[in-house]
């Protein structure tokens, strides 16, 4: 099956959820005009990233009416976007939502919230616990958010659930300016190249742009394919809507050429993980 | 209206110990402060004297030609009562030399320029007197950004920066500051007839109630309005908070290296202790 995907590398305004929703609708409109079937926005695309104490003020429950205009458009296109979730457990999460045909298909809560150096996520948000795969008319999808992409264990979990397409939604700040590309971009591209190769899946990486308090989100969105191609390369530091058509057939081809999936044994993984946990009193 | 009462005996002890320790651990024994004669600066003078001793506190009076003469009188009364050192530096000539060259000086521009001229003098005097500059901003004005960035906001320490103006009134009474100083209308005195409450559009008790509900109790705008506070005032105050956040943070540095000032170069202010 072939799918046309739109990567919305946007610059959300910090804390202005109304204006950000408008921007989502504009990008969605353009994606529909271009006959895309899915549009993917970056991490916290509705809220902005460095919210700090403002986090609480822009948190929305999953069933908030605020999302209605976006849901309405999902009649014509599947939409994945990021927002601050006010959980039904009274906690706040850094979440991503996938909507399809006017209904919420999946909500993913970021698991690894960086809290060191310039990052302060755990000060303001709670940690998600579940990596899931959800079926859409275009195949099996998983969503992961930014730092999650640096934990191969989470990518493995999507692979273990037969995910075809991982949506990697990010607000990754630029750092490292000695090479041709920002060092962080090299790191992300290497990681995605490795995951798509060994897990034979597509990764749609959408990173935001813009500056917040000196952090400059670099963009550099692209789609990595199981056969090692990079598609819809968006470039850095500019808002951009890029399109690409992917062919899910590539997963089948790759899995025959390099049949790791046939060899994979989740029981061995589970038994070893159980043993390791037991030997370490249930901790890492 | 909210209840603001505090254990002022404990507050007094706490602030005095804070001043002592911060001044001494930074390698100083003395402080300078701009003494306008307004309640905030008078209160800081009282606290500084108790913390450091009268010979280690120097008040600088810096009137401009339009400054209310009563303010200077209140400053002098305070100085005499506390027995602290002082100096008067009239800023009229300094400021007018600049104002004369500018075609359209608005009240705001003049006020900011005066505040920054005073800041400049205070920091120079702190070098001469080998002292730290004591800040006199209170919580209400810090949160509303109702002060001049790099002007009266600039200081080495902020001893009363966590007290709302309403609490300053109560604390000043506890500190036995003369009634005349406690009961005058709060004003930055940057131009004749200026008062805080006129400019902010509400009485301090009302302003501080809205601030504490929003800031300390984390009520939303709608929740505060539902409690019966005027929508216009609530919105205007909350807008002020947002619009002036830049004054309360360090300027953003364009980050691209592994460790950057303000972002992930995070040593504490008091590191040199």
Tens of pLDDT, residue by residue over B64-86, are 999 999 999 999 999 999 999 99
Closest approach of chain A CAs to the CA of B189, in angstroms?
33
Cα A8 to chain centroid distance, Å, stands at 12
Instruction: Decide the pairing of beta strands A202-207 and A222-224.
Output: antiparallel
Question: Which residues neighbour B263 within 8 Å (Cβ) at sequence distance 6 or greater?
Answer: A117, A118, A213, A214, A215, B253, B255
**What proportion of chain A, given as a percentage, has pLDDT over 90?**
98
Name residue A241's beta-bridge partners.
Answer: A8
Candidate from A56, A117, A214 with C-beta closest to B253: A214
Helix B8-25 and helix B39-52, axial crossing angle in degrees, nearest 10: 70
Q: What's the whole-number mean pLDDT along residues B154-175?
A: 96
* Residue B193's pLDDT band (cuts 50, 70, 90): confident
The reply to whether B252 touches chain A by the CB within 8 Å rule is yes
Q: Are the C-beta atoms of residues A179 and A143 closer than 8 Å to each other?
A: no
Looking at residue B191, its pLDDT comes to 80
Q: Around B47, how many Cα atoms within 13 Å sit in the side-chain half-sphere?
A: 33
Q: What is the pLDDT of residue B272?
A: 64
**Chain A contact probe: residue of B223, B248, B256, B258 with most A CBs at under 10 A:** B256
Nearest to B122 by CA among B35, B190, B187: B35
Which residues of chain A, if any, have pLDDT below 70? none
Residue B188: the pLDDT is 85
Chain B residues touching A56 at Cβ < 8 A? 218
Q: Are A260 and A200 in contact (CB under 8 A)?
A: yes
Tokens matching residue B131: 């002292």
- B91: closest CA of chain A, how far (Å): 36
What does the radius of gyration of chain A's CA atoms come to, in whole angstroms?
18
CA A191 to chain centre: 14
Whole-number Å distance between alpha carbons of A151 and A5: 25
Q: Do A211 and B254 touch (CB under 8 A)?
A: yes
How far apart are the C-alpha atoms of B4 and B164, rounded to whole Å?
Answer: 8
Tell me the average pLDDT of chain B. 95
Collapsing DSSP to helix, strand or coil, B164 comes out as coil
Which residue in A56, A118, A177 is closest to B264 by CB distance? A118
Structure-token match 């705001």, residue found: B108
Strand order of the β-sheet with B85-88 is: B85-88, B57-61, B30-34, B131-133
Confidence of residue B192 (pLDDT cuts 50, 70, 90): confident
Q: Hey, CA dihedral for B161, B163, B165, B168, is it positive or negative?
A: negative
Minimal CA–CA distance to A185: which of A221, A226, A141, A216? A221
Does residue A183 belong to the interface with chain B, where contact is any CB pair within 8 Å?
Answer: no
The DSSP output letter for B74 is H
The pLDDT of B133-158, averaged and rounded, is 96
**What is the 8-class DSSP label of residue A47?**
T
**What is d(CA B254, CA A118) in angstroms, rounded to the nearest whole number?**
13
Q: Label residue B96 left, alpha or beta by phi (over 0 means left) and psi (-120 to 50 means alpha).
A: alpha
φ, ψ for residue A97, nearest 5 deg: -125, 140
For residues B35 and B20, give the distance between their C-alpha atoms in angstroms, rounded to a whole number.
20
Residue with tokens 């993917």: A40
Tell me the angle at which helices B204-211 and B165-174 cross, rounded to the nearest 10 degrees: 120
Q: Given phi > 0 = left and psi -120 to 50 = alpha, else beta, which region is B2?
A: beta
Q: What's residue B154's pLDDT?
A: 96
A216/B264 Cβ within 8 A: no
Question: Any residues with CB less than 8 A from the CB of A100 and at least 6 apart, and which?
Answer: A74, A78, A136, A137
The pLDDT of residue B273? 56
Q: Residue A172 has what pLDDT? A: 97
Residues of A in contact with B217 (CB under 8 A): none
Strand positions, DSSP E, chain B: 30-34, 57-61, 85-88, 131-133
Classify residue B230 by burial, with Cβ atoms within 10 Å: 0-12, 13-18, 19+.
middle
Establish if B179 touches chain A: CB-CB under 8 angstroms. Answer: no
pTM of this structure: 0.89
């Amino acid at each position: 099956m072939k799918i046309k995907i739109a990567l919305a590398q946007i610059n959300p305004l910090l804390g202005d959820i109304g204006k950000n929703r408008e921007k989502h609708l504009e990008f969605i409109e353009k994606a529909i005009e271009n006959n895309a079937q899915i549009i993917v926005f970056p991490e916290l695309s509705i809220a902005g990233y460095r919210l700090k104490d403002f986090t609480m003020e822009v948190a929305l429950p999953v069933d908030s009416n605020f999302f209605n205009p976006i849901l309405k458009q999902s009649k014509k296109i599947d939409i994945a976007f990021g927002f601050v979730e006010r959980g039904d457990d009274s906690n706040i999460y850094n979440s991503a939502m996938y909507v399809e045909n006017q209904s919420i298909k999946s909500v993913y809560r970021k698991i690894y919230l960086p809290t060191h150096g310039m990052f302060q996520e755990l000060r303001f948000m709670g940690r998600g616990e579940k990596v899931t795969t959800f079926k859409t008319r275009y195949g099996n999808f998983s969503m992961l958010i930014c730092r999650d992409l640096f934990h191969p264990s989470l990518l493995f979990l999507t692979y273990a659930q037969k995910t075809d397409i991982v949506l990697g939604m990010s607000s990754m700040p630029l750092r490292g300016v000695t090479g041709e590309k920002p060092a962080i971009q090299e790191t992300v591209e290497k990681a995605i190249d490795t995951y798509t190769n060994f897990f034979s899946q597509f990764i749609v990486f959408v990173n935001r742009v813009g500056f917040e308090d000196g952090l400059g989100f670099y963009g550099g969105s692209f789609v990595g394919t199981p056969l090692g191609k990079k598609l819809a390369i968006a470039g850095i530091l500019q808002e951009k809507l890029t399109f690409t058509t992917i062919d899910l057939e590539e997963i089948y081809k790759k899995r025959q050429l390099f049949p790791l999936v046939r060899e994979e044994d989740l029981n061995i993984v589970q038994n070893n993980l159980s043993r390791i946990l037991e030997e370490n009193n249930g901790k890492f | 209206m909210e209840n603001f009462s505090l254990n002022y005996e404990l507050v007094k002890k706490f602030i005095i110990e804070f001043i002592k320790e911060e001044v001494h651990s930074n390698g100083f024994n003395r402080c300078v402060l701009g003494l306008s004669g307004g309640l905030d600066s008078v209160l800081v003078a009282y606290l500084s004297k108790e913390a450091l001793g009268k010979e280690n506190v120097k008040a600088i009076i810096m009137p401009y030609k339009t400054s209310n003469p009563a303010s200077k009188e209140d400053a002098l009364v305070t100085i005499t009562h506390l027995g602290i050192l002082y100096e008067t530096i009239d800023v009229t000539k300094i400021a007018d030399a600049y104002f004369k060259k500018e075609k359209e000086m608005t009240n705001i521009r003049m006020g900011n320029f005066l505040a920054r001229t005073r800041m400049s003098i205070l920091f120079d005097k702190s070098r001469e007197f080998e002292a730290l500059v004591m800040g006199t901003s209170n919580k209400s004005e810090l949160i509303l950004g109702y002060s001049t960035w790099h002007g009266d906001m600039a200081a080495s320490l902020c001893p009363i920066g966590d007290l709302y103006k309403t609490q300053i009134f109560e604390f000043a009474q506890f500190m036995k500051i003369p009634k005349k100083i406690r009961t005058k209308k709060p004003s930055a005195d940057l131009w004749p007839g200026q008062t805080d409450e006129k400019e902010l559009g509400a009485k301090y008790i009302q302003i501080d109630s809205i601030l504490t509900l929003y800031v300390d109790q984390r009520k939303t705008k709608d929740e505060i309005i539902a409690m019966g506070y005027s929508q216009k005032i609530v919105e205007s105050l909350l807008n002020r908070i947002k619009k002036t956040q830049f004054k309360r943070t360090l300027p953003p540095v364009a980050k691209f290296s592994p460790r950057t000032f303000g972002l992930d170069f995070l040593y504490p202010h008091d590191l040199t202790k």
